[in-house]
Amino acid sequence: MLLTVDLQLYNIYMKKFICYISFLLPSFATVLLFRIFGFKVGKNCKLPLFSLISANKIFIGNDVDIRRFVFINVAEIYIGDNSFISYFSFIRGNGKLIMKGNSGIGMQTLIHCDADIEIGYYSGFGVRNTVYSHSSFLPANKGYITKKEKIVLEDFVWIGANVCCFAGTYVEENSIVSPGLVLNSRVKGNSLVSNNASILKYYKLPFNRYKKAKINFYIELFRKFALMNNYHIEYNEMNNEFIINAKHTFKINLEKEIVTLFIDSLMCEYDLNNFTVTYLKNNLHKKFLSFIKRDYGIFLQTKY
């Protein structure tokens, strides 16, 4: 029995040791060590020098980007595909950090994770947010309220800059919270939460995430993409095709919301409904992914 306990403690301390020394290692070395010691790390992840990622259980999906000077020390970490945590973010506590795919945490965000923090699919915190899953440090024996409760963002939720989220914050799907607000309760879905003249107001969001884009959206997108990269573009209205420099073709399936890129004998599918893309090593493909992410907020998870 003692031997089993000793081995368990040894395993915990060794994992902690590996997490801490990885602070001084480049990304490829950290990924290798994490995998050797039983942590799950996907393909094409960035875990750079001068970032600390420490937990008893770590799962990091494909294409995750954790930037420099990020400090994470929690019980368990789950980060889904194509997610990011930006510079100078600080996350600590005894709870779990759960981030689904395409989620993000903005620069200089402080998260006290004493209860679980759950960030849904395509959801995230903007810059300089403060997130506390517990109440004040004042003494309960003097009558002060103590509270620990998880904080949840459902799918397709964006929290603007400089927002404070306290224990019990729960934001339902398809919602946006404007900068500078304080949250400590449930926000109904399909809401835009705004602070106007010190009065908290809820507005019904004017869009539907299940709506399908029309061809005019793609015409604008590809013309802008071509202009930014000095490409010559032709639009074939009959086949819903955009031809780049007379040799590469993007074909649009409006019904399925799939864009297919044909490069010589190669093919790549961008599924804008399910936010996935097939794996391809190609410069045009990389430029297009970067463009739709930066200019249109479309984050696609790579299918390897």
pLDDT in tens, 238-275: 999 999 998 999 999 999 999 999 998 899 999 998 99
pTM score: 0.85
Tokens of 86: 């930006």
Residue 195 is predicted with a pLDDT of: 72
Q: For residues 106 and 87, is the Cβ–Cβ distance under 8 A?
A: no
> Which residue positions in the chain have pLDDT lower than 50?
1-3, 5, 197
Give the chain's mean pLDDT: 89
pLDDT the model gives residue 197: 44
The whole-number pLDDT of residue 135 equals 76
Fold assignment, 2-204: UDP N-Acetylglucosamine Acyltransferase; domain 1 (2.160.10)
Residues 6+ apart with CB under 8 A from 248: 261, 262, 263, 284
Query: Per the structure block, which two tokens stand in for 238?
Result: 């009959």
d(CA 231, CA 265): 21
Across the chain, how many H-helices and E-strands are there? 4, 30
Say if strands 164-165 and 130-132 run parallel, antiparallel, or are unpaired: parallel
- Return d(Cα 58, Cα 78) in angstroms, integer: 6
In sequence order, the β-bridge partners of residue 57 are 76
What is the predicted pLDDT for the residue at 130? 96
**Residue ranges of the chain that CATH labels 2.160.10.10:** 2-204
Asked if 268 and 282 count as a contact pair (C-beta separation under 8 A), the reply is yes
92-127 pLDDT, tens digit per residue, is 999 999 999 999 999 999 999 989 999 999 999 999
| 8 C-beta neighbours (distance < 10 Å), count | 10
Residue with tokens 């993000």: 104
What pLDDT is stored for residue 196 in this prediction? Answer: 58
The C-alpha torsion from 103 through 105 and 111 to 117, rounded to 10°, is: 0
